[in-house]
Chain A
Amino acid sequence: MRSVVVFAVGLAVLLCGCKGATGTGPVVLHLSNWGGASDDPEFSRKITALYRQFERENPGIKVEIESVPDEYVQKMILSFVADAAPDVMSLDASSAGVFVNNGVLMDLAPFAKGDHGFRVSDFWPNVMAIDSRDQAIYAIPGDFTPLVLYYNKKLFDNAHVPYPGGHWTFDDFLQTAKKLTLKDKDGKVTQYGFNFPNWMPGWIVWLWNSGGDVLNPDGKSAGGALDSDKNVQAVTFLRDLVNVHKVAPNLSQTQSRGVDPFGNGETAMEISGHWEMSGFKTAPRLKMSDVGVTEVPTMLPQSKTVMYEVGFAIPKNARHPAEAWKLIKYLTGHGFQQTYQTTGIAVCARRDVATERAKAPREQLFLNIVPTARGPWGAQVVGYDFVEQEGKKMMERVLAGADPKQALTQTAQRIDSYFKVR
């Protein structure tokens, strides 16, 4: 009979995945992120060495990385329900509202104030603001990226079109895109001026730059904002890029290529974040020296853009908040960030590291754009993921022929009826 008990207990422990009781041993800090295996072993080795260095500097603390490459938000929510949340949680601005607004994160402002080795002023203020509410800070930013317009200098040169630089309007952009859309003698398009994936976190900048927005300023409703005339204009403009002027491939064509058409030198312009840089580096048909960066076209006096950020947060009922803060301070510190940012995946949230890395003129262009950038709605609103799904469907319908005004109104109604029951 004893074997039955041993077996059952063993199985139960296995199934529960219980965290062992805390004893006198070292404090193990679990740090969650959504990264999978890195394809750069050299970089992974450097980062691992940095974690080991933290452990040497802080005897009695061990760091364990918990990678959740898929369905990160869902898994994190469940980890809170199961009281198995990580000690330090990587927080994606796109979904930060879910955790901040539901009050499951610790306010880090008291740590920041009481720590002489930490200065809030080291960070870009509007980046720090993304996960803050009034005086409360719910995550310390690690890095971020404003969305910019990338252009391929070689394709511009080939078509004898001057590079874009500074302020330009939707129409300037359209004329440029037309000149960069090339056809062979059978009328088949060989090169597109622009790449338009139906990705709302990206195309929201077109709404903002026509003077519209997705939600009303309080973030509580979409009606009156999403279906505004300015958004109708912006969505019509985007539709026409694909359907009328045909300066961008249709969605299925883009999907069917399976490669980033800009990175492959097949389209002259695209709007995306800094993370593209790490892909451009290895793109066989795009030289880094041909990658140009400029601001998103706008109908406003000044171009606006969105910025996506990653911060580090401590769950409210963390077992080791003091140790977790030490780790966050280290992760967002100069030394760690200096090495971490060498991948070129993002812009460092620390101004010192970002400025050091901006020796290259192209990097400086990103920094120039930062003051005009705004955090995503997802950092403010619970369930913004659903809003983005509805936005994507709306764009799909419009590209398939639906009336933009009608589609926007219908989507706003759906979002509002969701916000009501939420």
Chain B
Amino acid sequence: MKKGKLGYLFIAPATLHLLVFAIFPMAFSVFLSFYKWNLLTSERTFLGLANYAYAFGDPQFWNAMWNSTKYALLSVPLGMAAGLLVAILVNQKLKGVTIFRTLYYIPAISSGVAISILWIYVYLPETGLINSVLGLLHINNKTDFLKNESMAMYALVFMSIWVGLGPRMVLFLSGLIGIPPSLYEAAELDGAGKLRSFWNVTLPMLAPTTFFVMVTSTIGALQVFTPVYIMTQGGPNETTDMVGYHIYVEAWSKFLIGIASAKSFVLLAAIVAISIFQFRILKNQLEGYSTT
């Protein structure tokens, strides 16, 4: 066997997996998005772009898109700030710091369903962790976070910060470790304090990491499904009906497979557009970047 061909063998499983579970289903969804078909009947009607037109005119779809936008706008910056903060904390030369690094990462390797169920208990009005702690501080509102229209979204955002902490921390940590100490020494010689060197050395040097974390977090936030499915089912009063869950309901409760497919491509287009936008604004910062 030639060397070149052996390489294909190594990538075969991953490629096959990609083809079977990603590329083919996506192509099939394109096909579905042009039809009215509930999958079970033999007849299917070609609708052209009517499913897309329906999606654009559906106020509930836009409500879900707006909720997802709100969720992303809140959870991404807050999640990144928390991730960076924790990364800086665990980047200190402290005893047992690896234990903390591990602890912060645990939520990321736990099942999303299990975490969501856990957080239902955290948010309960009478016996929940948060209300119990607030009770100790003599705040006895007993807020029912997940059933309160003005609180449910924030409850999901707050949880997402906790869940996403580990992966973001690891990424920022690797970025922090990559910053040459000589830069800090130079800054110190120039009389820069801690805050100054964070602002003028750490942040600019972390730009590529920040960019990566931002893009992936945004995509993740726009696709959020499990917590909505388990904790709120889009409620109360559709204030947490986010687009991933909305599409799921269209497909599997209402059996509007074509409309659900069309909506998922609208979401795809939105995600691509946002990612391109993020690339544009950070382009300048990334160009001058070099650690060598």
Contact = CB atoms under 8 A, between A and B. Distances in A.
Interface in B8-36: 8-9, 12-13, 16-17, 20
A422 B235 contact: no
Interface string B240-267: 0000000001001111100100000000
B127 to A, nearest CB: 5
B254 A418 contact: yes
Contact of B12 (A4, A102, A396): A4
B189 to A, nearest CB: 59
A386 B147 contact: no
B254 A383 contact: yes
Contacts of A1: 1, 5
A73 B9 CA distance: 38
B46 interface: no
B149 A389 contact: no
B112 to A, nearest CB: 14
B124 interface: yes
Contacts of B259: 421
Contacts of B175: none
Given A81-B39, A104-B40, A256-B125, A389 B147 contact: no
Given A4-B12, A252-B144, A400 B149 contact: yes
A54 interface: no
A111 interface: no
| Most chain B CB atoms below 10 A, which of A11, A71, A252, A396 | A252
B41 interface: yes
Contacts of A396: 147, 235-237
Contact of B5 (A4, A255, A385, A421): A4
A391 B228 CA distance: 18
Contacts of A15: 16-17, 20
A252 B16 contact: no
Given A382-B38, A389-B249, A400-B149, A256 B127 contact: yes
A252 B20 contact: no
Nearest to B20: A15
A28 interface: no
A326 interface: no
B146 to A, nearest CB: 8
Contacts of A73: 252
Contacts of B158: none
B249 A11 contact: no
Contact of B9 (A7, A255, A256, A393): A7
Q: How large is the interface on B (under 10, 10 to 19, 20 to 34, 35 or more residues)?
A: 35 or more
Q: Which applies to chain B's interface (DSSP): helix, strand, loop or mixed?
A: loop
Interface string B128-162: 10000000000000001011010000000000000
Contacts of A80: 39-40
A253 interface: yes
A385 B13 CA distance: 38
Contacts of B234: 393
Interface residues of A, number: 38
Contacts of B144: 252
A170 B222 CA distance: 46
A403 to B, nearest CB: 13
A389 B233 contact: yes
B218 to A, nearest CB: 28
A347 to B, nearest CB: 29
A12 B17 CA distance: 10
A74 interface: yes
A115 B235 CA distance: 51
Interface in A71-108: 71, 73-74, 77-78, 80-81, 98-99, 102-104
Interface in A1-52: 1, 3-4, 7-8, 11-12, 15
A393 B240 CA distance: 12
Contacts of A12: 16
A133 interface: no
A392 B238 CA distance: 12
A255 B124 contact: yes
Nearest to A1: B1
A251 interface: yes
B256 A422 contact: yes
Given A4-B12, A7-B9, A385-B253, A252 B124 contact: yes
B178 to A, nearest CB: 38
23 contacts: A4-B1, A7-B12, A11-B13, A15-B16, A15-B20, A71-B252, A73-B252, A74-B252, A77-B255, A80-B39, A81-B40, A103-B40, A103-B41, A252-B124, A253-B125, A256-B124, A383-B255, A386-B249, A393-B237, A393-B238, A397-B236, A400-B149, A422-B254
Interface of B: 1, 5, 8-9, 12-13, 16-17, 20, 38-41, 54, 120-121, 124-128, 144, 146-147, 149, 233-238, 249, 252-256, 259
Given A81-B39, A256-B126, 18 more contacts: A1-B1, A3-B9, A4-B1, A4-B9, A8-B12, A98-B40, A102-B38, A102-B41, A252-B144, A255-B124, A256-B125, A256-B128, A382-B255, A383-B254, A389-B253, A393-B234, A400-B147, A422-B38
